Chain A
């Protein structure tokens, strides 16, 4: 029971986790390098939180807890430079992006750690196909009840998050036609989707204990929900972002979630009930498929609106929050991306069109990650 105690944290603080791709410099395919890369980073005396992930072709970097966008961005810059420098010495490339465009999942090697081995034996090919790369944004919550409220209230904005971060148009060597094909891979897991409609923390703990008693799950980690509570950190974790191609976008997206959280906790505009999720999967599909051009349907008014228009409108409503949280610049950037339909999936398709070489696309992605321009 103690592991389901919601350890409160300072409201509206946030942290960012990014899963990054490790590529070889020859043909820019994914390569095995996590162990050596982590050792090299450690040797350089880095204090940053950099961990292995499920395959040897992936590392996860995480920021500390931040209140301001600028601080988080500065830390991300530092982490990025550390990782890129270590990769240089090992002849590796580091890139963002939600999926590798032409990797062959049968070639991936599962990182040598008991939990990863266990996941691999349970899910078989899914675990290796799960060589996909996401950004997670944690938002601090004062208590479990406000965490559950925020989790459900943010559900309406999940299409925004997906569309803004989408960076996995290519998989297995083809254009999937989706802006975010990565989420399709996530949905193949039985415990993906969304959290149950429960408004109070106590109710959620009941649900979880039943699932645990039924031996469906062992810990919160077994849920691959779009947004899930993380009681030991006292946060909720938004998990629908593809890893953006640059840390600048990653930081701006986190600031957008933070500002939204502030507004939602002040206004308390939604009632948590089943109706809230009436159009959820439809909207989410639209965002994955069409990105910022997708349509979202309001579950209550049944009104159709383009995702990009909804983001611009939302950013206008967040002006006060931006000022309070010192993230106006980041919110302006988000609104500009929405107006210009500029997400990373589009950037990738434009770059690919120039040379029609996916290897070259990955080369450019790694350069983009390194420089941010």
Chain B
């Protein structure tokens, strides 16, 4: 018997297709996620992240960078669906009925920005870079918030406020980063015109695109009736369309998605689609999203990066804590619940990672000094955030206790 007799067997080493890696990633993420939930009573999200981090290019290396790029489309779908859903769950009219909430949100954003900026300057980081770090610190992870809220079936004031503030601070951060990019690019050009025209284009353009798409989407949904599977398919299609159109037009993709959700709700005047739930079919994307976010996390050289990362986290914490606690009473909330809202805003995750990567790409030199610390801070908050949010929602008594 010679080896030639067995030529029907595949060549060794096995040439594994990327599809197999998706399956491995998905399976192990689901298993570890369930284990987290059952044995440690922690969020499944942590399990997904962990699996991604372990299998990712910065650790075991089972998933290489190329595979991650291939899988990017899943991330886009997942982020798109989550931002859309968050937008849909947010009621801007609430800001009118309770203006102190708007004040809380705006002050929270600015104070976080300034606190982080100041700390970064203490570490001798250049001004633009410090500002970029500050802008990144504003945003709470929409993916973590919406996933945990759904997972824990949370409802109540803390839940609602965390969602509202997250939607708003994500929007601010996205716009803020675009402004910084604008500033970087056009420093040499006719700055004053561009510094006004570019943000205007971004904000008005995103709004116009979202309005158009939301109107068409609701029209289609109304025309074709209310079967849930159909609604899901239409929504996914529109989320993808939004991602594609917004990036083609160089608009702000996350902002457009949030607006699509908000406006979709506004246009749904008979309240047929308000309870659009993505349920089980979306879980696939969510698992991959977090696993891939985990794969992006970095652990190398963390000792050197640690002081600045901790400074960043502390500044971000204070920037959110102070306004939320001070404005608790006027915005109709007890101090105890306000502190839980603040804890709930801790998560940073995939979106922050993407924003940091964008910044590193746009300003390779400027970002160098902070990149390691930022990745480390995001890593810490990616794991600590879901725990803090879960703790907050459980302590507020807003989760469903008999949940498995």
Q: Which residue from chain B places its CB closest to the CB of A363 in the assembled complex?
A: B271
A363 to B271, CA, bound (A): 9
User: In the complex, what residues of B have CB within 8 A of residue A359's CB?
Assistant: 271-272, 274-275
- Whether the pair B275, A29 counts as a contact (CB closer than 8 A) is yes
Residue in A26, A31, A35, A88 whose CB lies within 8 Å of B89: A26
User: In the complex, what residues of A have CB within 8 A of residue B98's CB?
Assistant: 88-91
User: In the complex, what residues of B have CB within 8 A of residue A39's CB?
Assistant: 334
- Whether the pair A88, B97 counts as a contact (CB closer than 8 A) is yes
User: In the complex, what residues of A have CB within 8 A of residue B88's CB?
Assistant: 26
Residues of A in contact (CB 8 Å), total 28
Contact of A234 with B by CB under 8 A:
no
Among residues 345 to 404 in chain B, which have CB atoms less than 8 Å away from a CB atom of chain A?
397-398, 400-402
- Whether the pair A27, B275 counts as a contact (CB closer than 8 A) is yes
Contact of A268 with B by CB under 8 A:
no
Contact of B72 with A by CB under 8 A:
no
A90 to B275, CA, bound (A): 20
Residue in A27, A29, A91, A357 whose CB lies within 8 Å of B160: A91
- Whether the pair B155, A31 counts as a contact (CB closer than 8 A) is yes
- Whether the pair B91, A26 counts as a contact (CB closer than 8 A) is yes
- Whether the pair A357, B400 counts as a contact (CB closer than 8 A) is no
User: In the complex, what residues of B have CB within 8 A of residue A274's CB?
Assistant: none
Tell me the total A-B contact number using a CB cutoff of 8 A. 69
- Whether the pair B155, A24 counts as a contact (CB closer than 8 A) is yes
Residue in A24, A29, A90, A109 whose CB lies within 8 Å of B332: A90
User: In the complex, what residues of A have CB within 8 A of residue B94's CB?
Assistant: 25, 91
User: In the complex, what residues of B have CB within 8 A of residue A360's CB?
Assistant: 270-272
Among residues 1 to 57 in chain A, which have CB atoms less than 8 Å away from a CB atom of chain B?
24-29, 31-33, 35-36, 39-40, 43
A359 to B275, CA, bound (A): 9
- Whether the pair B271, A33 counts as a contact (CB closer than 8 A) is no
- Whether the pair A36, B156 counts as a contact (CB closer than 8 A) is yes
Q: Which residue from chain A places its CB closest to the CB of B157 in the assembled complex?
A: A36
Residue in B155, B271, B333 whose CB lies within 8 Å of A32: B155
Q: Which residue from chain A places its CB closest to the CB of B272 in the assembled complex?
A: A357
A91 to B271, CA, bound (A): 17
User: In the complex, what residues of A have CB within 8 A of residue B274's CB?
Assistant: 26-28, 359
Contact of A112 with B by CB under 8 A:
yes
Query: Contact string, B29-56, partner A, CB cutoff 8 A, digits 1/0?
Result: 0000000000000000000000000000
Contact of A33 with B156 at beta-carbon distance under 8 Å, contacts A109-B400, A357-B271 already known? yes
Contact of B121 with A by CB under 8 A:
no
Contact of B153 with A by CB under 8 A:
yes
Best-buried of B153, B156, B397 by chain A (most CB within 10 Å): B156
Min CB gap B272→A, angstroms = 5
**Contact-size category for B:** 20 to 34
User: In the complex, what residues of A have CB within 8 A of residue B398's CB?
Assistant: 32
Q: Which residue from chain A places its CB closest to the CB of B274 in the assembled complex?
A: A27
A166 to B97, CA, bound (A): 32
User: In the complex, what residues of B have CB within 8 A of residue A106's CB?
Assistant: 402
- Whether the pair B400, A90 counts as a contact (CB closer than 8 A) is no
A27 to B334, CA, bound (A): 26
Min CB gap B154→A, angstroms = 9
Min CB gap B404→A, angstroms = 12
A1 to B397, CA, bound (A): 40
A27 to B275, CA, bound (A): 6
Residue in A91, A112, A355 whose CB lies within 8 Å of B97: A91
Contact of A107 with B by CB under 8 A:
yes
Among residues 192 to 210 in chain A, which have CB atoms less than 8 Å away from a CB atom of chain B?
none
Among residues 109 to 161 in chain A, which have CB atoms less than 8 Å away from a CB atom of chain B?
109, 112
Min CB gap A199→B, angstroms = 47
- Whether the pair A25, B155 counts as a contact (CB closer than 8 A) is no
A107 to B156, CA, bound (A): 13
Best-buried of A36, A86, A91, A112 by chain B (most CB within 10 Å): A91
Q: Which residue from chain A places its CB closest to the CB of B95 in the assembled complex?
A: A91
Residue in A88, A91, A112 whose CB lies within 8 Å of B397: A112
A360 to B91, CA, bound (A): 16
Among residues 152 to 181 in chain B, which have CB atoms less than 8 Å away from a CB atom of chain A?
153, 155-157, 160
Among residues 66 to 112 in chain B, which have CB atoms less than 8 Å away from a CB atom of chain A?
88-89, 91, 93-94, 97-98
User: In the complex, what residues of A have CB within 8 A of residue B271's CB?
Assistant: 27-28, 355, 357, 359-360, 363
A355 to B334, CA, bound (A): 39
Q: Which residue from chain B places its CB closest to the CB of A36 in the assembled complex?
A: B157
Min CB gap A360→B, angstroms = 4
User: In the complex, what residues of A have CB within 8 A of residue B91's CB?
Assistant: 25-26, 91
18 A-B pairs within 8 Å (CB atoms) are namely: A25-B91, A28-B274, A29-B275, A31-B155, A32-B397, A33-B156, A43-B332, A86-B332, A88-B98, A89-B332, A91-B91, A91-B94, A91-B98, A106-B402, A109-B397, A109-B400, A357-B270, A359-B272
Beyond A89-B98, A357-B271, A359-B274, 18 additional contacts (C-beta under 8 Å) are: A25-B91, A26-B89, A26-B91, A28-B271, A32-B155, A35-B397, A36-B157, A43-B332, A88-B98, A89-B97, A89-B332, A90-B98, A106-B402, A359-B271, A359-B275, A360-B270, A360-B271, A363-B271
Identify the A interface with B (CB < 8 A). Answer: 24-29, 31-33, 35-36, 39-40, 43, 86, 88-91, 106-107, 109, 112, 355, 357, 359-360, 363
8 closest A-B pairs by beta carbon, nearest first, are A27-B275, A359-B271, A355-B270, A360-B271, A91-B94, A27-B274, A88-B97, A89-B98
